[in-house]
């Protein structure tokens, strides 16, 4: 009898793992390998119970202020910048051909005045907003057909500094709201916009150099690649899943700035 009891205890000791509960999610999986029953999510690089939206690494879950919205938000796919001290036009080519149906956004300017045109990128460009008082900043957008990765901005007759930032975004449907303004003292702000949500917000500021910028507030903003020469332009973005009024500001030290903000609808 004692021999039987000892054998039973030994079996449970060896095979205890056989009756363990479902493996726990949340453990890191930098190698892409997880225990049986779990899937490595490229979005978080952790082992999860289900491969929810694992096919799109740059689609995070968005905090909506207490509740987590489980819809994936496709954000920035690629970006390219260019700057020239002089010239009536400037061209930038994205690292890869854009995908048809995605939105291209051009944020840039020429210090001498408003741009006369934005062309290329496989789209017809629309001006969302612009401020052309000091350094100047303009936001243009269009849905690409994927036929071109090259975008050109033009200001006829100008020989002053000109710059541009071209980005490709997926999951965006249309312009929701936009505005721009200028100022001579810190902080820089484009003013308030009221959205109908859910939206991607793009905030840009152009200013002279030397200059030191802070971090936009309120909220958490992701910095994009800016341009710097005789003038500097910085851009940031964030997603907002609910309608609201947003007034981002950012400190700067040079003064004489132009700022713009645009909200683009996130496709359902």
The model's pLDDT over 228-249, given as tens digits with 9 standing for 90+, comes to 999 999 999 999 999 999 999 9
Mean pLDDT (the chain) is 82
Which stretches of 132-248 are assigned E, i.e. beta strand?
137-143, 150-154, 162-169, 172-183, 188-189, 193-195, 199-208, 222-223, 227-228, 231-240, 244-246
Is 13's pLDDT higher than 50? no
Query: What is the rounded CA–CA span in Å between residue 146 and residue 127?
Result: 20
Question: Would you say 165 and 79 are in contact if contact means Cβ atoms under 8 Å apart?
Answer: yes
Query: What is the rounded CA–CA span in Å between residue 261 and residue 235?
Result: 9
End-to-end CA distance of the chain: 67
Is 100's pLDDT higher than 60? yes
Query: What is the rounded CA–CA span in Å between residue 242 and residue 266?
Result: 11
Query: What is the rounded CA–CA span in Å between residue 138 and residue 180?
Result: 8
Question: Would you say 161 and 174 are in contact if contact means Cβ atoms under 8 Å apart?
Answer: no
CA nearest to 20, candidates 37, 4, 41, 39: 37
Task: Name residues whose C-beta falls within 8 Å of residue 2's C-beta, 6 or more positions apart in sequence.
Answer: none
Which residue has better confidence, 52 or 100?
Answer: 100
Q: How far is CA 150 from CA 129, 156, 206, 233, in A?
A: 22, 19, 23, 20
Which tens digits make up the pLDDT trace of 154-185? 997 777 999 999 999 999 999 999 999 999 99
Sign of the dihedral defined by the CA atoms of residues 44, 46, 52, 55, in that order: positive
137, β-bridge pairs:
131
127, β-bridge pairs:
140
Look up the pTM and report it: 0.74
Report pLDDT for 1. Answer: 45
Which tens digits make up the pLDDT trace of 20-62? 344 455 677 655 567 766 665 544 456 655 433 333 333 333 3
Sign of the dihedral defined by the CA atoms of residues 32, 33, 38, 39, in that order: positive
Report pLDDT for 215. Answer: 97
């Amino acid at each position: 009898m004692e021999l039987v009891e000892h054998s039973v205890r030994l079996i449970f000791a060896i095979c205890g793992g056989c009756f363990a509960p479902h493996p726990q999610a949340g453990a890191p999986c930098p190698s892409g390998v997880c225990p049986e029953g779990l899937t490595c999510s490229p979005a978080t690089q952790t082992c999860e119970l289900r491969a929810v939206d694992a096919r799109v690494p740059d689609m995070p879950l968005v905090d909506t202020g207490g509740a987590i919205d489980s819809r994936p938000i496709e954000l920035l796919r690629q970006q390219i910048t260019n700057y020239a001290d002089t010239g009536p036009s400037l061209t930038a080519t994205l690292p890869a051909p854009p995908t048809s149906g995605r939105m291209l956004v051009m944020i840039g300017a020429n210090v001498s005045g408003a741009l006369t045109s934005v062309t290329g990128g496989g789209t017809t460009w629309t001006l969302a907003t612009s401020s052309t008082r000091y350094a100047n900043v303009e936001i243009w957008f269009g849905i690409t057909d994927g036929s071109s990765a090259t975008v050109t901005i033009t200001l006829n007759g100008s020989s002053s500094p000109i710059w541009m930032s071209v980005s490709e975004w997926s999951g965006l449907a249309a312009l929701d709201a936009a505005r721009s303004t200028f100022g001579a003292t810190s902080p820089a702000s484009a003013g308030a916009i009221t959205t109908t949500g859910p939206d991607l917000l793009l905030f840009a500021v152009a200013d002279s150099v030397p200059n030191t910028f802070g971090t936009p507030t309120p909220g958490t903003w992701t910095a994009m690649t800016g341009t710097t020469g005789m003038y500097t332009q910085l851009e940031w973005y964030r997603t907002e899943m609910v309608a609201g009024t947003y007034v981002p500001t950012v400190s700067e030290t040079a003064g004489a700035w132009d700022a713009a903000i645009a909200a683009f609808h996130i496709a359902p």
